[in-house]
Amino acid sequence: MAGSDVQSTFITADTVALDANGISTSATLGSGGTLTINGALHSGGTVTLSSGRQVTVTSAGNDTGITFTVTGTDVNAAAQTEVLTGASGAAATSTKYFLTITEIANSGASAGAVEAGINSLAADVIFAGRMRLRAIWVKDSASAGTLEFRQESAAGTANLKFDTIAVSTWAFRDNDIPDEGILFVDGGYVQYTVATFDTLTAFYN
């Protein structure tokens, strides 16, 4: 008798809150160089996170004339970089999700204080190759949100959105996907706001 080819990935939701200076604390940059990685999330000059997170670089002044290059790894632990154009009195936010951050390089002097951190969005990998999502089992948490199941990368197109519910005591829901499931050609990923579920089991083949 042939066995099932269905596999599963178990994910525990990231609960680390938005931290605007968790990577680099506020400092005025006198010239091009790198930000000092010294925020609450760092260890030994590197930030390692439990899930992929979007990086924010917040400028007190007008830094639209300079760039910030974030270097680290993605949710698959592969090297990645992203260049952010500085903001003016606001935060510049990466579109990519970083599992580690090893450097943030600035192309020139800043107009005022600059700090770097993470926002409240998180992402995890289900499977990095071609897959069909067949079912999801979700344990809800005290906060409601939306799980976005994305193709190709954590920042890719959302093929499925699934709402969680806020519960005072744990609630477990299993949800089958009919027919042949949903195809993710180049990998399946889940993106969510932190703490909007407890655990997720994704079944795929």
Domains of the chain: which residue ranges? 7-13+124-204, 19-119
Q: What is the dihedral of CA 142, 144, 149, 152, to 10 degrees?
A: -80
CA–CA dist 25, 131 (Å, integer): 41
- Does 1 score more than 50 pLDDT? no
Task: Specify whether the CB–CB gap between 84 and 65 falls below 8 A.
Answer: no
Closest by CA position to 202, among listed 153, 165, 143, 149: 149
CA–CA dist 89, 57 (Å, integer): 11
CA–CA dist 177, 49 (Å, integer): 31
- Does 3 score more than 80 pLDDT? no
- What is the reported pLDDT for 171? 80
CA distances for 50 relative to 163, 188, 194, angstroms: 22, 18, 11
DSSP 50-72: EEEEEEEEEESSB-TTSEEEEEE
Residue where the block lists tokens 């592969």: 78
Distant-in-sequence, close-in-space partners of 111: CB < 8 Å, separation ≥ 6: 59, 60, 61, 62, 63
pLDDT digit string, tens, across residues 55-105: 999 999 999 999 999 999 999 999 999 999 999 999 999 999 999 999 999
Mean pLDDT of the chain: 96
* Structure tokens that stand for 35 in this block: 């930000």
Closest by CA position to 104, among listed 67, 74, 159: 67
- What is the reported pLDDT for 68? 98
CA–CA dist 117, 25 (Å, integer): 8
- What is the reported pLDDT for 2? 60
Radius of gyration of the chain (CA): 19
Closest by CA position to 204, among listed 135, 109, 129: 135
Share of the chain above pLDDT 70, in %: 99
pLDDT digit string, tens, across residues 145-178: 999 999 999 999 999 999 999 998 778 889 999 9
- Does 139 score more than 50 pLDDT? yes
- Does 54 score more than 80 pLDDT? yes
pLDDT digit string, tens, across residues 96-133: 999 999 999 999 999 999 999 999 999 999 999 999 99
- What is the reported pLDDT for 87? 98
